[in-house]
Amino acid sequence: MGDPYNPDYEYIAYIDESGETGLQNVLGVDDHGSSEWFVLSLVVVPKSEEQNIQSWIGEMIAATRSRQLRDIHFSKLSPSHKGAIVDLLATKPVMAFAICSNKKNMRRYRNPKAEAAMQVKDWYYCWLTRVALERATHFVCRRAIQKFNEPKYMKVVFSERGGLRVGQIGAYYHWISQQSSNDNLYLPWGDLEWDTIHRLLLSKDFHKNLAGLKLADIVAAAFFGACDNKQSGPCDPQFAERLMPIMGRYHNRSDGRYSGYGVKLLPSFGAAKLSTDQAAIFRHYGYPLQLWQVGKEWIVHERKKSERADQ
């Protein structure tokens, strides 16, 4: 893995969100409150493609054929512009993950353990980044073992948001990693692949400054628009559906399952109590069937396969 004080990386994960994290009052339960949905997206880009992302944004803007459009804020675009942009993004060498949290069952919920561990009240956001990274690190670790015969680090860039402190997020991940190493995870059904994460590779930036964060914005806003019918108008799943070629599939196979992996609904399909229009996007991605993340036995399997191939 090289110099631990200056770690190199082979992949980059860009994280952005759509909706609000507030849990005190929630639309869908209360007449007034924060959004019913919070969607967190993560887009993985190989390091070898990092220098191309800005040109991809230029291609997307050109594809809209708009003389006025200078930047991409997906939720503010017309349907025709959205369509041109998602169709182009769906052709790029990236892998995307969308964590879609319906907050009705989270109303006024607190997690004192996480708050104490992070020394921050926005544990909910941090927890959803964990859910996203469980899937993204699984994908990256598997891809790296196949390509390099060993895990490789993934740089993680968060979109700047009020009060976001990367050091506190790093402390939260360290807390989880200690639980993992002691085989004592508080939430035992999923874990990160810790060989791909390094605290020195966590950072944040503004959406306007970093082209990669615009990719994550597209995914987050597309899925928010697909499942929200209170703040963004009627549910419109077409743009999230058109991102299907780049949404994470289990084992990255064409027959791999999206539901629960590339597209994760929280809580479960039944517990979320979705309306028919809200449920449409999740049915498109394979729900109500859902894949729970497996353990680490596949890493041993992949390494043995690599060793056999080298003999």
Q: What is the pLDDT of residue 302?
A: 43
Task: Spell out a b/e string for 122-159, using b for 16 or more CB atoms within 10 Å of the CB, else e.
Answer: bbbbbbbbbbbbbbbbbbbbbbbbeeeeebbbbbbbbb
Backbone angles phi, psi at 11, to 5 degrees: -140, 155
**Residue 112 preceded by cis peptide, ω within 30:** no
The conformational region for residue 183 under phi > 0 = left, psi -120 to 50 = alpha, else beta, is left
State in Å, rounded, how far the first CA of the chain is from the last one.
23
Q: What is the pLDDT of residue 300?
A: 42
Q: What is the pLDDT of residue 113?
A: 66
Q: What is the pLDDT of residue 31?
A: 86
Q: What is the pLDDT of residue 70?
A: 87
Mean pLDDT for each 10-residue chunk of the chain (311 residues)? 80 96 86 92 98 97 90 93 97 98 84 64 87 95 95 96 85 82 60 92 93 97 96 93 96 87 94 95 94 51 46 41
Backbone angles phi, psi at 76, to 5 degrees: -95, 0
Q: What is the pLDDT of residue 44?
A: 98
Q: Global pTM?
A: 0.90
The structure tokens 């027959």 sit at: 255
